[in-house]
Amino acid sequence: MIGTQALYAYEAVAGSHFLLELLASGDVDLLYDARQKMTVVSEKLDGEGLLGLLKKADKTFECVRENGYRAANAGQFMIDLVIAPRGMQASENITFSKADLVATEVPGLQWLLNSPKLEAVAIDEDGWPVPMRAPDPRAFALHKAWLSGLPEREPLKKPRDLEQARSVAKLVVDEMPHLPFKSTLTSLHGDVRKMLPMLIPA
């Protein structure tokens, strides 16, 4: 999980809660590591692809468009399959079966992909445990701050990006002393790491 849903993992680890408005979201971003072998993933998805897996949870899920990266259910909850940029040499589509979602490249995701991972178990609305895997919260906060400053970022998303960045950074400082911001996250580009002063007061 790399989007807003990652905040639930951070809450679970810190034993704390974010404001509800920071958690509201109508979609889930699934980051797939295109470096992993497709055969392993295909076996886990039983040959029916990611869409088939989604349909097991909610049969109303359908691809929004043919060969697209997004699926939506009857309630317009969306699932996006995204990957980090792969470079000019990799041109084949990342998909798991026919008529399945086809991953789309999103700039900057390589930093989250290469960052340390955080494992957590959150509790869903029905009280069931939900295992989650999210980027290191320091990397998440810095990346969100970087996103908020991109000229091409949707204007409505920028304030939310920055507020999520600051809230996660504060949670790390207050509740996760074992994850000091001052230690270098070498997986992050300098343009991302230089966001630190706007998140952590000197």
pLDDT tens-digit map of 19-47 = 877 777 666 777 777 665 444 444 556 66
Quote the mean pLDDT of the chain. Answer: 83
pLDDT at residue 170, as a whole number: 92
- DSSP bridge partners of 80: 29, 70
Average pLDDT on 106-120 reads 85
Please state, for a pLDDT cut of 90, what percent of the chain lies above it: 23
End-to-end CA distance of the chain: 30
Q: Measure the CA angle with vertex 117, ends 83 and 62; round to 5°.
A: 40
Q: Residue 177 above 50 pLDDT?
A: yes
Return the minimum-mean-pLDDT range out of 25-34, 68-77, 158-167: 25-34
Burial class (CB in 10 A: 0-12, 13-18, 19+), 170: middle
Q: Which residues contact 153 (CB under 8 A, 6 or more apart)?
A: 147, 161
d(CA 134, CA 116): 9
Please write the tens of the pLDDT for every residue from 76-97. Answer: 888 888 888 887 666 788 888 8
pLDDT at residue 38, as a whole number: 43
pLDDT at residue 39, as a whole number: 44
Beta carbons of 146 and 158 less than 8 angstroms apart:
no
pLDDT at residue 153, as a whole number: 87
d(CA 98, CA 106): 23
Beta carbons of 83 and 2 less than 8 angstroms apart:
no
pLDDT at residue 202, as a whole number: 59
Amino acid (1-letter code) at residue 146: W
Beta carbons of 161 and 145 less than 8 angstroms apart:
yes
Q: Residue 49 above 50 pLDDT?
A: yes
Beta carbons of 82 and 105 less than 8 angstroms apart:
yes
Average pLDDT on 71-80 reads 89
